[in-house]
Structure 1
Amino acid sequence: QIKLPINANNTHWYLAVVNTKKCEVQVLDSLCWNSGRDDLANTLRGIQFHLDLLKSQKLVSDDWKDVDLTEWKIIEQLQKAIQKDSSSCGLFMVKFMEYFTGCALSYPITQVYIFF
């Protein structure tokens, strides 16, 4: 897994996880913003540029067949907002980094938990 902290429009943080086992990009957004994820698409294109360079120099393992991240599905992991204020998105993102296993959160994260 590659965990990518993403800042949307300089106003909101969320976590994107490049899950190489599932060949998908998983998004954990405490506000469940539906912003089109242009910021994530730009980040993935940047990573893809470097992966293509590595691939051209034969530095990417043959075990990793599907290396085109820009074609992977983007899967929203949360279905409803869990953030209740307008300022704790960065703290949620850090907790997502700590507790997301690639399948689920190993510990339930709520707004109350963020302040402890």
Structure 2
Amino acid sequence: MIGKAWVQTGVPWWRLCHKSAQELVGADMVFIPMNNTKSHWWLCVLYPARNEIQVLNSFNRTINYEEELVELRCGIHSILQAILASSDKLESRWSNYDILQWDVVVKKNIPPQHDACSCGIFTIKYMQFWNGSEITNPFTQKDMEKFRKKMPAELILSPLNELTTSKEHVLATQNFS
């Protein structure tokens, strides 16, 4: 899509990425859900305060995360380097833009998955409760069924949900008394 916009507008691709890059480097942590096998979700966390790319995987799998993250790291690196070489400036919390040199750290002190179908929920819960060092609100495999039932309501009723008709429909069909 970026390439298509560049061809149509003549605007350099990195300038089209400036807003996204600004949001990226303006964050203390960046959560990126990953799915490398089309069957399993895990979480990549960019943690610039430690120059780390943290991996939270609910399955204790042997995966070469350095290899799995090459394209992501190279893409982010290329965009940041192009913007830094331009006259555009970034307001940043990052002290080190060279994400290619950051350590990849696989976190072990996280709740594990014990079934074959909860990886997506574990990934979402990691995003909710990871502070860069630990899970702040512990959960287990036993909590997954409760999360499965609660999550749709949280999404529909979220203030970020702009589909007000779906909110109104849910609220109209529920008896909250």
Match of residue 8, structure 1, among 36, 39, 45? 36
Structure showing the higher strand proportion among its residues? 1
User: Match of 2:23?
Assistant: none
> TM-score, normalising length from structure 1?
0.88
User: Match of 1:75?
Assistant: 105
Matches within 5 A, 1:20-99: 20-37=48-65, 38-57=67-86, 58-61=88-91, 64-78=94-108, 82-99=112-129
Partner Cα separation in structure 2 for residue 40 and residue 13 of structure 1: 14
Q: Is the 8 A contact 1:32 1:81 kept in 2?
A: no
> TM-score, normalising length from structure 2?
0.60
Structure showing the higher helix proportion among its residues? 2
Matched pairs, number:
116
Displacement, 1:62?
Answer: 7.5
Partner Cα separation in structure 2 for residue 47 and residue 62 of structure 1: 14
Displacement, 1:115?
Answer: 1.7
In structure 2, list runs of 5 or more residues that go unmatched: 1-28, 147-177
Q: Is the 8 A contact 1:31 1:80 kept in 2?
A: no
Higher relative contact order (CA 8 A, sep 6+): 1
Structure 1 counterpart of 2:114, which letter? Answer: K
- CA offset digits 1:42-87 (Å, max 9, x no partner): 2121111111112112523577442111211111112687111111
Inter-CA distance 80–9: structure 2 relative to 1 (3 Å threshold): same
Aligned-residue sequence identity (percent) comes to: 26
Structure 2 counterpart of 1:60, which letter? Answer: L
Once the two structures are overlaid, the 10-residue window that deviates more, 104-113 or 62-71, is 62-71
Partner Cα separation in structure 1 for residue 81 and residue 31 of structure 2: 19
Partner Cα separation in structure 1 for residue 129 and residue 110 of structure 2: 18
- CA offset digits 1:11-56 (Å, max 9, x no partner): 2111111001111111110002221023322212111111111211
Structure 1 counterpart of 2:90, which letter? Answer: V
Q: Is the 8 A contact 2:77 2:100 kept in 1?
A: yes
Q: Cα RMSD (Å) of the superposition? A: 2.0
Q: Is the 8 A contact 1:6 1:40 kept in 2?
A: no
Structure 1: 4+ residue segments shifted above 3 A: 60-65
